[in-house]
Structure 1
Amino acid sequence: MKPGQDTHDPKGLIREAYRIPGITSAQCRTIFMDWALGLPEAQEPRASLRALLARHGDGAPDHPMTQVLRDGLGGSIAPRRRGGWRARREP
């Protein structure tokens, strides 16, 4: 499939990430961010993540991009308070 023809991976970034030998988790996260930012506004990313995991992840369960896609489906973690006046005051 050529880039631009796949609605779930319009630029072919995820497909190419699986083809790069020795790719690291950090590189996969960078590619994932580029992929996410390149999706059309109206597109539901979770549906695309599920489709991409079914297409690529089943055949490569130990690939770092598979883990990044799974993490993307997991949702965001609730932010924790960091700093503030309580962190700066002495005990």
Structure 2
Amino acid sequence: MADRDPLDPKGLIREAYAIEGITSYECRSIFLDWALSHASDDHTPAIETLLTQYGPGKLDHPMTQTLTAALSDASPAKRRGGRAARLDR
């Protein structure tokens, strides 16, 4: 398939925008599937590109809201617990 998007090879995000009446719950599920299959650990650049590609004029679309939330919720992972956390330093 020559028109396959490297950022969305399965077409998950594109299809989400095409589904009439899709819910935010369904968009979050689709986004999770996309994120788990995405090649990079840093999804931010890809999400920004997908928003630029699909989001204009669709600010109320649940997938636009899901992608926007994914950008604002992104924070670096922090180590919690474990043996080192229990020991006095």
Q: State the distance in 2 between where 1:60 and 1:17 align.
A: 12
Q: TM-score, normalised by structure 1?
A: 0.73
Q: TM-score, normalised by structure 2?
A: 0.75
Report the AA paired with residue 18 of structure 1.
Answer: Y
Q: What percentage of aligned pairs have identical amino acids?
A: 48
CA shift, 1:75, in A, is 2.4
Runs of 4+ in 1 over 4 A off after TM superposition: none
Q: Where does residue 19 of structure 1 map in the other structure?
A: 18
How do 1:70-81 residues align onto structure 2 when only pairs under 5 Å count?
70-76=68-74
RMSD of aligned Cα (Å): 2.3
How do 1:1-91 residues align onto structure 2 when only pairs under 5 Å count?
2=1, 5-40=4-39, 42=40, 44-76=42-74
Report the AA paired with residue 74 of structure 1.
Answer: S
**Residues 3 and 57 (structure 1 numbering): CA distance in 2 closer, same or farther, change over 3 Å?**
farther
Q: Structure 1 regions of 5+ residues with no counterpart?
A: 78-91
Aligned residues: 76
Q: State the distance in 1 between where 2:3 and 2:66 align.
A: 22
CA shift, 1:61, in A, is 1.0
CA shift, 1:26, in A, is 0.2
